[in-house]
Structure 1
């Protein structure tokens, strides 16, 4: 197994742009499907950095593999290795750190503007981003802040968009890993789950408008997060 571990939970929430970043850096990584039991038997003392991707389930669902993953994340937290969570992955980190994850009264979807919260300017996780910038969203749950966490980003529809905990943990509600192909796939397969009449949800047209330019900007945002995560891992 590689020293870089990526935990996934369904086939349409892959590492996306993260995989491209690692490939271009010529860094080996190992991707597991936790929902298929592939985390069972893994040497949890081996990875030097772990990324946790998204998924349509809630961390509060009664799925045995979720408990397995949370226990693994708690082991990684005790080991003090760099962890980065995307959407469900961020919510799993929050729960592993003792915070509540709850249902929002609406779904937040599309390109939503994130802003730094007061006091977040000096965070090294945000050193590459401006005061406000868009990130692709698709979530109906939100995490609370674990004890000792530092809130970093918010949006008009979700107060807690990102937090850091200690120096090596970064959890997000959004999807900086998205690629153009993934956005189009989600909007092709799952558009029926959205309601564009709701102000928290963009229409398909809005999401696809100038998509290559939006993805290029998102890639730059993601790459800054991933560079810092890898720097902490010394890989």
Structure 2
């Protein structure tokens, strides 16, 4: 199993998705697209793809000129019935790739927040084994409308489009299910200045919220990661 991983921003990572891929013996082909790594032009040489998050928005083609090619690549994975997972920015890019409308700003969440599955979400192959409502880590300002024909899987009061599926195994997940407490702590250090500008109380909140919500969030996130890998 060979999985393309597209990283869009320094300091991000696969988190619990890496755990699930390692358990399955997958080969990870990491491309730092924002650093100039070339992307494949087709999905022929990979069994699946993961598109990670980042601080840019999904319409930033001028600053990140690889984006249009990445959208076309995602559509090629879909045409070949190969799995794609987009997380946070990755979900916004997948929404754009398949005809959704991106909304820049006005949808900010940070920290562990509740997400609720829709009725189709509760029956979805990737989400059927997680609770109907659960806390999970969020870090985003943007949102999107669902692409035509997408199955709406999850929502909350801030962003109606928290998760969707296209076809068999193209998944856009707005929330950071890959971010267990270890990764959240890593981000809290690596992006401390950025976080402090907008969430100055985060150092006081971090360990309290991690204790309250982290165990369930970590368990849900790993379950989602493992189930997505099983769909490859």
| Common fold by TM > 0.5 | yes
Map of 1:153 onto structure 2 = 154
Q: More deviation in 206-215 or 31-40?
A: 206-215
* Mapped contact 1:83–1:229 kept (Cα < 8 A): no
Structure 1 residues 130-139 or 9-18, which shifts more?
A: 9-18
Secondary structure (helix, strand or coil) at the match of 2:111 reads strand
Q: Equivalent residue of 1:80, what SS? A: coil
Quick check: 76-85 or 25-34, which moved more? 25-34
Deviates more, 1:21-30 or 1:84-93: 21-30
Q: Which residue of 1 aligns with 2:134?
A: 133
2 CA distance for matches of 1:45 and 1:212? 43
Query: Any gaps of 5 or more consecutive residues in structure 1?
Result: 197-201
Q: Kindly state the Cα deviation for residue 210 of structure 1 after the two structures are TM-superposed.
A: 5.1
Q: Find the counterpart in structure 2 of residue 75 from structure 1.
A: 76
Structure 2, unaligned stretches of length 5 or more? none
Aligned position for 1:20: 19
Whether the 8 Å contact between 1:86 and 1:174 is mirrored in structure 2 is: yes
The reply on whether 1:29 has 2:33 as its aligned counterpart is: no
Work out whether residues 102 and 143 of structure 2, in 8 Å CA contact, stay in contact via their aligned partners in 1.
Answer: yes
Aligned counterpart, 1:228: 227
8 A Cα contact 2:16 2:179, kept in partner = yes
In structure 1, the partner of 2:210 is 211
Q: Normalized against structure 2, the TM-score is what?
A: 0.88
**Is residue 3 of structure 1 aligned with residue 18 of structure 2?**
no
| Structure 2 CA distance for aligned equivalents of residues 193 and 73 of structure 1 | 34
Paired residue for 1:99?
A: 100
What CA distance in whole angstroms lies between the structure 2 residues aligned with 1:113 and 1:43? 37
